[in-house]
């Protein structure tokens, strides 16, 4: 019988554990973890995401600062703000909501964030440390997936994991997390993408399939083996005239049919999604803890 991996419930457990760490940090060091979120433009999805982050910070006792700018902001103005946040002792995490307007170089902006405050885990230094196994910030969505598997008592070691999608946000960091010499790693990893000749050939061999390709219900029941574990990262709006909002949210997996074959599967919504913000909070608290240690040592 298929078990549904409840991302909302696991997220609540982790947030509760991390809230205790926030309280202890405040009590023992006087430091309150602080997160700065920078939003450029008025994209509704980005605005909703930022609101969710603000609520999470409030519930966990984390200082939250929002910086909202019109699309006309210049790259120089944005870089100046990030420089100020890098130097701000109250801020331990900086998140710039992507995408940015076309006239702003996203890579330049990401590079300008101090690696010590890169709680999104997108800085090349963070990703490079991940690849060679050093301590660093892990990208939030892949890190959230690792936690979903861990809290569901799913052993990753020795498993064949097929990741469908090679983005810098999910696919690539996910592969490197799974390859770590760690109790939540040591997997054999295959990455499929838009140029892969026969994706189903690879997915049908995998013990765990992670779908992050951005195509509604792309993974079908015929593409996985019996008792596989399926993690659905996708969240796609599909028009539906019967829905109140005129659309429904579906993942990259045909949940109805695929769930008949799996041992574990994540739903959409309510699976991976809640974990992304939770791990952002986790990284912000971790950053504040590291800052308190550097401060204690006079570094």
**Per-residue pLDDT tens digits of the chain, which is 299 residues long:** 799 999 999 999 999 999 999 999 999 999 999 999 999 998 887 888 888 999 999 999 999 999 999 999 999 999 999 999 999 999 999 999 988 999 999 999 999 999 999 999 999 999 999 999 999 999 999 999 999 999 999 999 999 999 999 999 999 999 999 999 998 999 999 999 999 999 999 999 999 999 999 999 999 999 999 999 999 999 988 888 888 888 888 999 999 999 999 999 999 999 999 999 999 999 999 999 999 998 888 77
Residue span(s) of the chain under CATH 3.40.50.720 come to: 140-273
- Cα pseudo-dihedral 197, 237, 67, 145, rounded to 10: -50
Rounded Cα–Cα distance for residues 259 and 230 (Å): 8
Of the residues 18, 53, 207, 232, only one is catalytic, namely 53
Residue 252: its pLDDT value, please?
Answer: 97
Residue 276: its pLDDT value, please?
Answer: 95
Q: Please, what is the angle between helix 124-132 and helix 171-179, to 10°?
A: 30
Cβ-Cβ contacts under 8 Å for 180 (sequence gap 6 or more) = 133, 186
Q: Which residue is it, tokens 């040591």? A: 186
Q: Do residues 143 and 176 lie in contact, with contact meaning Cβ atoms separated by under 8 Å?
A: no
Where b means 16+ CB within 10 Å and e means fewer, 11-43 reads beebbeebbebbeebeeeeebebbbbbbbbbee
Beta bridge partners of 208: 161, 229
Of the residues 18, 97, 117, 172, only one is catalytic, namely 97
Known active-site residue 53: yes
Q: Reduced to 3 states, what is the DSSP secondary structure of residue 93?
A: strand
Of the residues 118, 120, 207, 254, only one is catalytic, namely 120
Residue span(s) of the chain under CATH 3.40.50.10860 come to: 30-115
Q: Which two tokens stand for residue 197?
A: 């000749």
Rounded Cα–Cα distance for residues 65 and 81 (Å): 13
Known active-site residue 120: yes
Cβ-Cβ contacts under 8 Å for 106 (sequence gap 6 or more) = 98, 99, 100
CB neighbourhood size of 241 (10 A): 6
Residue 258: its pLDDT value, please?
Answer: 97
Rounded Cα–Cα distance for residues 88 and 67 (Å): 14
CATH C-level class of 140-273: alpha beta
> In this structure, which CATH number among 3.30.360.10, 3.20.10.10, 3.30.465.10, 3.40.50.10860 belongs to the domain 30-115?
3.40.50.10860
Beta bridge partners of 231: 210
Residue 1: its pLDDT value, please?
Answer: 78
Q: Do the strands 3-4 and 264-265 form a parallel or antiparallel pair, or are they unpaired? A: parallel
């Amino acid at each position: 019988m298929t078990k549904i991996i409840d991302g909302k419930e696991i997220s609540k457990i982790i947030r509760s554990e991390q809230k205790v760490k926030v309280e202890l940090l405040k009590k023992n060091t006087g430091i309150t973890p602080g997160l700065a979120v920078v939003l450029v433009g008025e994209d509704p999805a980005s605005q909703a995401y930022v609101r969710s982050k603000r609520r999470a910070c409030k519930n966990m006792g984390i200082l939250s600062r929002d910086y909202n700018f019109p699309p006309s902001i210049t790259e120089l103005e944005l870089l100046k703000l990030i420089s100020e946040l890098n130097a701000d002792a109250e801020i331990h995490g900086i998140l710039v909501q992507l995408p940015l307007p076309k006239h702003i170089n996203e890579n330049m902006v990401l590079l300008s964030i101090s690696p010590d405050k890169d709680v999104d885990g997108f800085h090349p230094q963070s990703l490079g440390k991940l690849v060679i196994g050093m301590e660093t910030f892990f990208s939030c969505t892949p890190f959230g997936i690792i936690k979903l598997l861990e809290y569901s008592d799913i052993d990753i070691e020795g498993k064949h994991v097929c990741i469908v999608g090679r983005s810098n946000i999910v696919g690539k960091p996910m592969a490197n997390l799974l390859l770590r010499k760690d109790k939540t790693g040591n997997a054999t990893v295959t990455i499929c993408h838009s140029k892969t000749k026969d994706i189903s050939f690879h997915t049908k061999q995998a013990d765990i399939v992670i779908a992050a390709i951005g195509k509604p219900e792309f993974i079908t029941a015929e593409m996985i083996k019996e008792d596989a574990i399926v993690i659905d990262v996708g969240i796609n709006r599909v028009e539906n005239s019967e829905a109140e909002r005129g659309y429904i949210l579906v993942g990259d997996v045909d949940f109805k049919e695929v769930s008949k074959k799996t041992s574990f599967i994540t739903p959409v919504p309510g699976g991976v999604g809640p974990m992304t913000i939770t791990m952002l909070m986790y990284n912000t608290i971790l950053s504040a803890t590291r800052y308190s240690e550097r401060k204690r040592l006079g570094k």
